[in-house]
Chains A and B, each alone.
Chain A
Amino acid sequence: MKYDTIKIPKEKLLPEAGIVKAPAPNSEQDDMITGSWRVLRPVIDSEECTMCYMCWITCPDGCIQIGEDEMKVNLKYCKGCGLCSAVCPVDAIARVPELDFEGGVVFQEELF
C-alpha cells in the first residue's frame, strides 16, 4: 500500500506552526465573542476609581479600556473572571450577576 501526504488546499494553508506577525493588531474579531461566557459583570464606580490602571494591566483579555476620565469595560469580550475587581485597591469594581441587568447574558443568542 502506498502512503501519501495529505493534500491541503492552498487557500487553507497557514504559516508553519501558525506563526503570526507581532505585535498582533489592536482589533476585535467576530469569530469568538467570549462575553457570553460571563456570569458576573464588572461594574466600575467612577466616583471611587482613582485611575490607577491596575485593572487595565491585570485583565488577561485586554477588556479594560482607558477612557477620557474613567475606566471602561469591553463587555463584548469580558468573561467576568473578576481579576479586575480583586486587584482594585479602592474596591471600586463590583461584580454584579448578569441576570440583574435588562437582557442579562446579552450575548447568549439562545439557551442550550
Chain B
Amino acid sequence: MESKKFFTGLGAAAMAVKMADVDVISSFPIRPYTGVMMILSQMVANGELDAEFVHAEGEHAQLSIVHGASAAGARTFTGSSGVGVTFAMETYSPISGGRCPVQMLIADRTLDPPGDFGSEHTDALLCRDQGWIMGWAETPQEVFDNTLMFYRIGEDPRVRLPQFNCHDGYFVSHIPGEVEIADQSQVDEFLPPYSPVHPVDPEYPVGHGPQIFSDQGPVLEAMRANAMMGAVPVIEEVVEDFGRIFGRKYPPFVEEYMTDDADFVFFISGAHAHTARYAIKHLRAKGLKVGLVRIRFIRPWPTAAIEESLSKFKAVGVIETNSSFGIVRQGGILTPEVCASLYDAPKRPMIASFMAGLGGETISLDEFYFIADRLKKMVDSEKSEKPVYWMGIEE
C-alpha cells in the first residue's frame, strides 16, 4: 500500500534513509541540509531507526566517520551544504578511491561570497571530479526515489562508489511536495542489505588505503575510472527495476518534455525545471516550438544520451545555476560538457549559456521567456549572437 503525504525534500530524504535501514549517520549543522539530520536524530531517539548517530566536530570529521564506517561494512548516510561541502573536500577522493559507497545528501547553498543562503549548484559541482556518482532531484518525490536508487547503484559490486545525492536548497529541501511513501516490503525488494567485500573480521584483518608502489597508481586510477564508466549500464538497469517495483518510471539520464517537434530546448539540472515546464506550456500556447531536456546524472556524465538527445534540436540554452569564473566559453560548468558531448555528432545545435539563479535567486517565468526569446532569435537568424547571457543583468 502506498500512501501520499506532503514532505519537504529533506523529509522525503529522511524517510528514504530510514526505510533503507542505514547503520551509521554522521552530522554537522549547516543550513539548509541540516533539517534532514534533525528528523533523523528524532527517528533514532524515538527508536524508529536503529542506527549509530554520530555528531562530528566539522564536515571533514563527518565524512571521515562515514568513510571508516563504510569500510567496516555499514550502510552510511551524511550530508552538507555550501561551504560545508567544500570544507570536507580532502575526504572525497579517499572515500571513492577506497570504494566505500557512502551516500551524502547535498542541499545546495551558495558559496561565500555573497554570503547568500540560496541554492546555487557550485558547491556540489566543485566535487564532480572526485569519483562520486552525482545527480540532482527536481522534487521531494524524486529525492525520496533517488536516495534509494543511489544506494543501490553505489553498492552494486560492479560500481561500489560513493554518491552525492543532490537537490536545490530551499526550492526542494524546504518546500513540501506530494510524496508517495512506498511500502517497506517494496524497499526491501529493491534494496538488498549492503554486502561489503571486506567487512570487519578478526579472522581476516585487512589494511585499507595502503601505501602503494609507483606502478600501481595508474592501475588503481583506471579501476576507479572503470567503476564510474561501468555505472552507466547499472544506472539504466536500476532505474528500470525501480519503475517495476515502485511504479514510477524515470528515464535513466535524460528527461525530455515537449521535445517531439521542438526547435530549441532549455537544458537544465535540478529544481528550476519545474518553472521551466510552466514557461514551456505558456510559450507553446503562443506557438513557440520549445521543449525541456533535464539531466538526472552529472556523474557519470551520460555522453551518448546527451548527444542523442540534443543533436535533434537547432538551438540549446544551457541554464547554469553555478559559476566557474574564467571557464571555457565563459559560462558555467555544464556548458563545456554539453558542447563536448556534441563534438562527434554529425549535426550540432547552436549553444548558448544562461547564467541564472546565481546567488540562489529563483529563475522567474520572465527569465525563461527571455531565454526562449534569445533562442528563437538564434534559430530564426541561424546564427548565435553571443555565448553567454547573465540573467537579471541583461536587458
Residues of A within 8 A of B (CB): 1-6, 8, 12-14, 16-24, 29, 31-32
Question: Across the A-B interface, how many residue pairs have beta carbons closer than 8 Å?
Answer: 69
Cα–Cα, bound, A8→B222 (Å): 8
**What is the size, in residues, of chain B's interface with A at 8 Å between Cβ atoms?**
30
B210→A2 contact, CB < 8 A: no
Which of B212-220, B358-366, B369-377 lies at the binding interface? B212-220
Chain B residues near A29: list those with CB within 8 A.
213
Given contacts A5-B230, A6-B225, A8-B223, contact A21 B205 (CB under 8 A): yes
B216→A14 contact, CB < 8 A: yes
Given contacts A16-B99, A21-B207, contact A3 B222 (CB under 8 A): no
A6→B226 contact, CB < 8 A: yes
Given contacts A1-B304, A3-B303, A17-B99, contact A22 B205 (CB under 8 A): yes
Residues of B within 8 A of A (CB): 97-99, 160, 197-198, 204-210, 212-214, 216, 219-220, 222-223, 225-226, 229-230, 232, 303-304, 307, 344
When A and B form their complex, which 5 residue pairs have the shortest distance between CB atoms, in order from nearest?
A22-B207, A22-B205, A17-B99, A1-B344, A5-B226
A21→B226 contact, CB < 8 A: no
A3→B214 contact, CB < 8 A: no
Which of A5, A16, A21 makes the CB contact (< 8 A) with B204?
A: A21
Chain A residues near B160: list those with CB within 8 A.
16
CB closest residue in chain A, given B197: A16
Chain B residues near A23: list those with CB within 8 A.
205, 207
Which of B99, B198, B206, B229 makes the CB contact (< 8 A) with A3?
A: B229
Chain A residues near B303: list those with CB within 8 A.
1, 3
B214→A14 contact, CB < 8 A: no
Cα–Cα, bound, A92→B21 (Å): 57
Chain B residues near A16: list those with CB within 8 A.
99, 160, 197, 223
Cα–Cα, bound, A31→B211 (Å): 12
Chain A residues near B210: list those with CB within 8 A.
18-20, 24
